[in-house]
């Protein structure tokens, strides 16, 4: 009875082995249905004696072809034939005779796998060497466009614009497009710093520029573009020490003067300023505010994508709430901007009307230090200052401003000195009422005589 054999595809092969008439040691089975050329497809094997016993090894179907590189270097299509099987058998038998090389098809395949793995490892190593050499010679001009692309995908548009401006005006004249990253030294950084200070740029701008260089190197390191040292972190180049915190805030009278004059100039600018003064919202937060984020009933704004990346609630005064009610159109979509710019697009910066009005009413007269000048952000400082002056705890002010660190809010601490003085007086009165007028309570145990 003739048995049946299943191939790797599950097809039934004819059960009878047929010995090749032309090539001893080669035999095959015929596929019951599949054709190859003019005849049935053949499943080829070789059989031979090894160490005193017969061994049979399968080669595969004649119809299953593959590509390989010929002696002339050309890529050709190959497949199993009786002749090719006989040539393989002769090779294995010769290896057995001389005691060198693979003696079985399994050994030959294992050796081929080892060669392939070795070649792949060599290729990868060569690629790594080439990449290392390329990274060693990478220039500022090579990596800057990629850094910009990364920034555009991960940072706010204003931040990207600022980085581009600082790179163009201060970094590129010193670290040119052709400068290799490995060649950037403290000399380059000191030159950037000196040029900026000579041009009258603020120490904060110098620090920002050096930080930008550092960020570019960090980006290159993370993405495998450059593996050398970061010159900013390694060098001893220090940004000038500075305190650029704005200390100016508006008194109630100054705020009233500003708002009253803005009513005459521009209601849009007036309303934007009023909202900042009454909520502590930053300019960008107000420009991005939509009607869907305004809760009229509870007088709460939802400020999204704030400077620290978190969404927060802002509580507004009745005056600001009335202003928003008056601004709200009869028909409005939740996604509509509260303060749309031209064409309904988001405003990018506060109108020059604000600066002109500040100058007209003399809020900056006689002030030479830019930190004392009234700018739009002064309205946010004024909001915080009024809260502290009226006894609101610094931690509460921190939360209302959206500060991540209480140290950012601590700048307003001195404004609450009068409140703390009142608290001390109340404590004094409370202690005095327990002991009689004018009696002093010892706060430490008396030392024994």
348-380, pLDDT tens digit by residue? 899 999 999 999 999 999 887 777 889 999 998
Could you say which DSSP state residue 251 is in?
A: -
210-229, pLDDT tens digit by residue? 999 999 999 999 998 888 88
What pLDDT score was predicted for residue 388?
Answer: 80
Q: Which pair of tokens denotes residue 345?
A: 């697009």
- Superfamily of the domain at 252-378: Intergrase catalytic core (1.10.443.10)
Could you say which DSSP state residue 64 is in?
A: -
Instruction: Count the Cβ atoms, other than its own, within 10 Å of residue 184.
Output: 22
Higher pLDDT, 379 or 393: 379
**109 has a pLDDT exceeding 50:** yes
Distance (Å) of CA 437 to CA 85, 199, 334, 428, 440 = 118, 65, 63, 11, 9
From-to residues of CATH 1.10.150.130 in the chain: 140-234
Q: Which residues contact 171 (CB under 8 A, 6 or more apart)?
A: 140, 192, 209, 212, 213
Q: Which of 220, 215, 227, 235 is nearest to 136 (CA)?
A: 227
What pLDDT score was predicted for residue 412?
Answer: 67
- Give the Cα separation of 128 and 262 in Å (integer): 64
- Give the Cα separation of 304 and 302 in Å (integer): 6
What pLDDT score was predicted for residue 381?
Answer: 86
The CATH number that domain 140-234 falls under is: 1.10.150.130
From-to residues of CATH 1.10.443.10 in the chain: 252-378
pTM of the predicted structure, to 2 decimals: 0.52
Helix axes 203-222 and 157-166, enclosed angle (nearest 10) = 100
- Give the Cα separation of 184 and 440 in Å (integer): 68
Average pLDDT over residues 116-122: 90
Contact 370, 247 (CB under 8 A): no
What pLDDT score was predicted for residue 431?
Answer: 60
Q: Which of 175, 157, 162 is nearest to 213 (CA)?
A: 175
138-168, pLDDT tens digit by residue? 999 999 999 999 999 998 888 999 999 999 9
285-320, pLDDT tens digit by residue? 999 999 999 998 899 999 987 877 788 888 888 999
**194 has a pLDDT exceeding 50:** yes
Pairing of strands 300-303, 294-295: antiparallel
What pLDDT score was predicted for residue 6?
Answer: 42
Distance (Å) of CA 386 to CA 255, 393, 414, 429 = 11, 12, 12, 27
> Could you give the angle at the alpha carbon of 376 between the alpha carbons of 373 and 380, nearest 5°?
100
- Give the Cα separation of 274 and 342 in Å (integer): 21
> Could you give the angle at the alpha carbon of 37 between the alpha carbons of 32 and 40, nearest 5°?
15
- Give the Cα separation of 43 and 20 in Å (integer): 12
């Amino acid at each position: 009875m003739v048995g049946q054999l299943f191939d790797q595809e599950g097809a039934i092969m004819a059960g009878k082995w047929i010995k090749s008439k032309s090539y001893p040691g080669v035999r095959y089975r015929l596929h019951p249905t599949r054709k190859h050329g003019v005849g049935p497809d053949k499943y080829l094997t070789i059989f031979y004696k090894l160490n005193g016993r017969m061994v049979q090894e399968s080669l595969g179907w004649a119809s299953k072809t593959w590509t390989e590189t010929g002696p002339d270097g050309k890529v050709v299509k190959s497949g199993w034939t009786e002749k090719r099987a006989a040539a393989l058998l002769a090779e294995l038998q010769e290896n057995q005779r001389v005691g060198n090389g693979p003696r079985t098809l399994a050994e030959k395949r294992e050796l081929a796998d080892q060669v392939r793995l070795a070649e792949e490892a060599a290729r990868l190593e060569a690629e790594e060497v080439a990449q290392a050499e390329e990274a060693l010679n990478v220039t500022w001009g090579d990596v800057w466009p990629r850094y910009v692309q990364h920034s555009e995908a991960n940072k706010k548009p204003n931040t990207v614009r600022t980085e581009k401006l600082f790179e163009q005006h201060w970094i590129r004249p010193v670290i040119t497009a052709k400068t290799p990253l490995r060649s950037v030294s403290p000399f380059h950084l000191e030159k950037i710093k000196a040029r900026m200070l000579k041009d009258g740029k603020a120490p904060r701008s110098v620090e920002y520029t050096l930080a930008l260089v550092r960020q570019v190197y960090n980006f290159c390191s993370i993405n495998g573009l450059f593996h050398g040292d970061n010159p900013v972190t390694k060098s001893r180049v220090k940004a000038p020490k500075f305190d650029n915190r704005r200390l100016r805030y508006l008194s109630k009278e100054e705020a009233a003067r500003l708002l009253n004059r803005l009513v005459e100039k521009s209601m849009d600018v007036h309303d934007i300023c009023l909202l900042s003064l009454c909520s502590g919202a930053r300019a960008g937060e107000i420009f991005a505010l939509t009607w869907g984020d305004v809760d009229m009933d509870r007088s709460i704004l939802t400020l999204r994508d704030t400077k620290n990346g978190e969404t927060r609630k802002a509580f507004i005064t009745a005056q600001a709430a009335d202003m928003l009610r008056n601004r709200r159109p009869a028909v409005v979509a939740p996604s509509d901007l509260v303060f749309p710019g031209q064409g309904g697009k988001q405003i990018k910066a506060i109108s020059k009307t604000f600066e002109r009005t500040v100058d007209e009413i003399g809020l900056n007269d006689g002030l030479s230090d830019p930190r004392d000048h009234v700018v739009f952000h002064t309205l946010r400082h004024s909001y915080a200052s009024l809260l502290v002056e009226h006894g609101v705890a610094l931690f509460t002010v921190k939360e209302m401003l959206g500060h991540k660190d209480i140290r950012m809010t601590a700048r307003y601490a001195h404004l609450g000195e009068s409140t703390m003085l009142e608290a001390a007086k109340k404590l004094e009165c409370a202690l005095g009422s327990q002991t009689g007028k004018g009696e002093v309570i010892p706060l430490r145990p008396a030392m024994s005589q």
